[in-house]
Amino acid sequence: MFHNWLDRWDESRAQSGEEAKTVTGLILDADRAFPSVGAAETVDEFCANAERAAADPSFFDPPDSSDQAFELRDGWLKFPSDVATDVAENNIVWARITESGKRDQAVVIFHHWNATSRNRQIAGFLSWQGITVIEIAMPYHLERKRPGSLYADYMLSANLGRTVQAVKQAVWDGRKLIGWLKREGYRDVSVLGMSLGSWVAGLVAAHEPAVSRASLFLTAGSLAEMVWSGRATRSIRTSLEPHLTLAQLQRAWAPLNLENHADRLARPGLELHVILASRDTVVLSGLSDRLLGRLKNAGARVNVLRLNCGHYSLGRPPYILGAGWSLKRFLIQRKAAPFVASSRSR
């Protein structure tokens, strides 16, 4: 009975989130995603460029920027993004810092798609545990929101090139912020990503050697398959389906697929923590399981917690309490065991 109610509650949250979302047409915009290559005339040309990018180990490496221009004031950090877009607000990165009083350990949080606020509860809890928390605004969210937009359609959409550019921008911004943290004296830097933010956090952890731990909430490998099958992205699938197949979308967003970065996520010195919702209709469990299998085969060190709730109800008691304590134990541990999977039913 309780889980039936929980499923209905999750569905109502998903329905309310659809109200502002619109169906559009397919846009390639390859020059945004792959500026050194230029325009693509067809989906297959775009896919070929994307597959070359996925095989390029430097695709997510930010430029050596001499224009650091970090400004810290009253707990807010801002700095210029190294990706210039046609939305001026999006070109300045904002991050909220909750100090722990120690310059030893920090965690950078990447929020979920369409987040409208930061999570003060998590920030307060972790800072109380002695971990400084930095909540970064992802592209087209929060202070970086596109004027007049009702949701973050420029971050994830049927515009293939802008989506790749936005995720790459988020990774570059995260890596730039982590560089600042290291220069400020933080010895141990972790990342935490939630839903879409877990893809960004995973890519940051895969490519940024300064990251020692990565916690991924509600994650999977293939962003394309998540969009195609997920409850929260039906408008995007409706926009794409007349123009391409799932197989083509997988190729087009190959650089964003965490499965393609599993070997990097298995690098020595990186610990992984994954929290999944067994009743999730946004990120289906089969997609998450496939990523875990790929990570296990690559030799990654992963601690897994499954909770018997949905995508949105993970944020409600008792599930958020279990997730919070699991995260706390992961962040303060000194050495993780090899791949460990666990589950809970409540």
Give the per-residue pLDDT at 334.
55
More confident residue, 310 or 5: 310
Give the per-residue pLDDT at 233.
97
Report the alpha-carbon distance of residue 172 to residue 208 in Å, rounded: 10
Mean pLDDT of 117-134: 94
CB distance 116 to 91 below 8 Å? no
**With bands split at pLDDT 50, 70 and 90, how would you rate the model's confidence at 335?**
very low
Residue 341 has pLDDT above 60, yes or no: no
Give the per-residue pLDDT at 5.
73
| Tens-place pLDDT, residues 241-289 | 999 999 999 999 999 999 999 999 999 999 999 999 999 999 999 999 9
**With bands split at pLDDT 50, 70 and 90, how would you rate the model's confidence at 45?**
very high
Report the alpha-carbon distance of residue 168 to residue 148 in Å, rounded: 24
Going from the N-terminus, what domains does the chain have, and what CATH number goes with each?
A: 69-222+258-343 (3.40.50.1820)
**What percent of the chain is modeled with pLDDT above 70?**
95
| Tens-place pLDDT, residues 136-167 | 999 999 999 999 999 999 999 999 999 999 99
State the pTM of this model.
Answer: 0.95
- Name residue, tokens 């875990």: 292
